[in-house]
Amino acid sequence: MEFYKVDVFTKKPLKGNPAAVVLGILEDEIMRSLAFELNISETVFVEKRDDAFHLRYFTPYTEIDLCGHATIGAFYVLKLKGLKAGRYKAVTKAGEIEVKVEDIIWLKVVEPNIVEFELNGLEEVTGVKILDSAIVDVGIPIGLVEIEDFENLMKLKPDPKLSEFCKDRGIVGVHFYTFDSEFDACARFFAPAVGIPEDPVTGTANSALAYYLNSSGKLVKGYYKFEQGHALKREGIVHVKLDYGVWVGGEAVCVLRGILEI
């Protein structure tokens, strides 16, 4: 069975957000064991059935319903294997999602919803000045927090107090961003309450950010580019477009391929 390791939201090897892609779906226990063996944040198993691609996602410790960057990685590998440009249906435990294969890979995310326009109490936790905040639900509730500049963004550190803050507010994590960027914004995403001290490059959180910036009038565009990953030396670019829904896109690069023998 073929196996690939791809870095997503980048064209540079060893940057962006890594995912493992296995071409085929196996017994649940074998997939769990393989994900633990491969020890990459997410491993996706993908298989074509009739007119749709079925995907299953595993962390080293558990199965999850959906992973955006792993989905982009899976369809990038399928493109390497000859999949033509076009629209495709991906079947996941979170439901069906639409994927567009172009020069980059796009997936349509759940329509976001602004739950609150303010997220109080973070200045005491982070020690940095907060300029604006909100909570946006994209299937999972995410806190969005604007801070002053890139320097203060890089000073942020994962903190146990942030984990408690997220649990108390019922959010998965906090996506800090600044307009001090050569792109539309530069960001960092922390989700310690769900076991992710910091995610390198996050499609879901950046889709929430694009929707919020557009809806609130802070930065109204049809196409956004966000940079992320600097603090982990895994820089990447997330593309988001608002086109009859919210689409998250990214490039990818293969850094490893081989054969699983089990």
Q: Which residues are catalytic?
A: 42
Kindly give the residue spans of alpha helices, DSSP state H, lying in the chain: 28-38, 68-80, 122-126, 150-155, 160-169, 203-216
What Å distances lie between residue 175 and 122, 185, 205, CA to CA?
A: 12, 11, 6
- Residue 99's nearest CA partner among 86, 82, 110 is 86
Helix, coil or strand: residue 192: helix
> CA–CA separation, 36 vs 58, rounded Å?
9
What values do phi and psi take at 30, rounded to 5? -70, -40
Question: What one-character-per-residue DSSP string does 69-115 give?
Answer: HHHHHHHHHHHHTTPPSEEEEEEETTEEEEEEESSSEEEEPPPPEEE
Phi then psi dihedrals of residue 206, to 5 deg: -75, -25
Dist CA 238 CA 230 (whole Å): 13
**Across the strands, what pairs with 252?**
8
Cα 123 from chain centroid (whole Å) = 25
